[in-house]
Amino acid sequence: MSAKRLTERKLIENISYMLHYDRIEMRGSGYAFDCNKDGTLRSMTKAGAANLIYCQEHPAEYHPPHVEEYVHSYWEPATAQCRCGHVITLDGDAPCGSCGQWHNAFGQELRPPREWGEETGERFDDNGNYIGGGDDDC
């Protein structure tokens, strides 16, 4: 039996921008400040503001400032409803936080971990952690 799927897994992408001041003499070093796409700076700490002022007051040490785009992405896991009614996250093998029923990443119900590996001789604890058996006992 499978849990009732509520949401599908989806790719989340966040885009951020940094205003870079790259040092001329020391390639790969410099400063970067959080900004928007147009280079307008966002709020920063006092130390960050002091570094920005230094960059602006010493233009001969830095290449002209430029904005770089950064794309950060991750997968948001799907959710489903366990037969007990509790909403679960489908992100690998895990138990329902309410009734303890184990599900895999597709929402299929699983036997308890202590019953896993019977065919291979492997053993797992109640949390699903591998504790031995199979080929590593040789």
Owning domain of residue 30? 10-74
Give 134's pLDDT tier (boundaries 50, 70, 90).
low
- Is residue 3 assigned to a domain? no
Q: What share of the chain is helix, strand, coil (3-state, %, to 5)?
A: 15, 40, 40
Q: Would you say the pTM of this structure is higher than 0.75?
A: no
Total number of domains constituting the chain: 2
In sequence order, which residues have a C-beta less than 8 Å from that of residue 122 and are 6 or more positions away? 116, 130, 132, 133, 134
Nearest to 21 by CA among 55, 60, 68: 55
Mean pLDDT of 72-91: 96
- For residues 83 and 118, membership in a common domain is answered with yes
pLDDT tens digits, 84-126: 999 999 999 999 999 999 999 999 999 988 888 877 888 888 8
For the chain, give the percent of residues with pLDDT over 90: 78
- Is residue 63 assigned to a domain? yes
Q: Which of 74, 92, 109 is the last residue of a domain?
A: 74
